[in-house]
Amino acid sequence: AQKVTQAQTEISVVEKEDVTLDCVYETRDTTYYLFWYKQPPSGELVFLIRRNSFDEQNEISGRYSWNFQKSTSSFNFTITASQVVDSAVYFCALSEGLNTGNQFYFGTGTSLTVIP
């Protein structure tokens, strides 16, 4: 079974629009970590955020914000006032256990295109 589901395969928005990328995860562990990565065309993964299962506080970093809800096993990512440079593939990932050094389970990714 897929541990991380990103239902949105592709999203297109016009510049300056807000966009939310969905991520639903599945785990039986009580301790786990969730991540978001950005993968531009170069292929290199760019780390965006790490969240542990005990911290449900939402986080904002500039135009980026994350909504972690354990009740629905979701960890959604919102980009406010999108820009062309935000165009990339975004991956949500899960790492189970006490530390982030364990295997990552990646979602299938959401390809975001921001149209100028």
Partner 1 sequence: GAVVSQHPSWVICKSGTSVKIECRSLDFQATTMFWYRQFPKQSLMLMATSNEGSKATYEQGVEKDKFLINHASLTLSTLTVTSAHPEDSSFYICSARGTSGRSNEQFFGPGTRLTVL
Query: Does residue 32 bind partner 1 (CB under 8 A)?
Result: no
106 lies in the binding site for partner 1 (CB under 8 A): yes
Q: Which of 11/45 has CB closer to partner 1?
A: 45
Region near partner 1 per CB under 8 A, out of 13-21, 59-67, 77-85, 94-102: 94-102
User: Considering beta carbons, is residue 71 or 101 the nearer one to partner 1?
Assistant: 101
**How far, CA to CA in Å, does 80 sit from each of 13, 43, 44, 89?**
11, 24, 23, 17
Task: Report the distance separating Cα 26 and Cα 6, nearest Å.
Answer: 12
Q: Taking CB under 8 A as the rule, does residue 107 contact partner 1?
A: yes
Residue 113 token pair? 């295109």
Closest separation between CB of residue 69 and partner 1, Å? 23
With CB under 8 A as the contact rule, the residue among 24, 51, 95, 96 that binds partner 1 is: 95
Q: Shortest gap between Cβ of 2 and partner 1 (angstroms)?
A: 10
The size of the interface with partner 1 (CB under 8 A), counted in residues, is 19
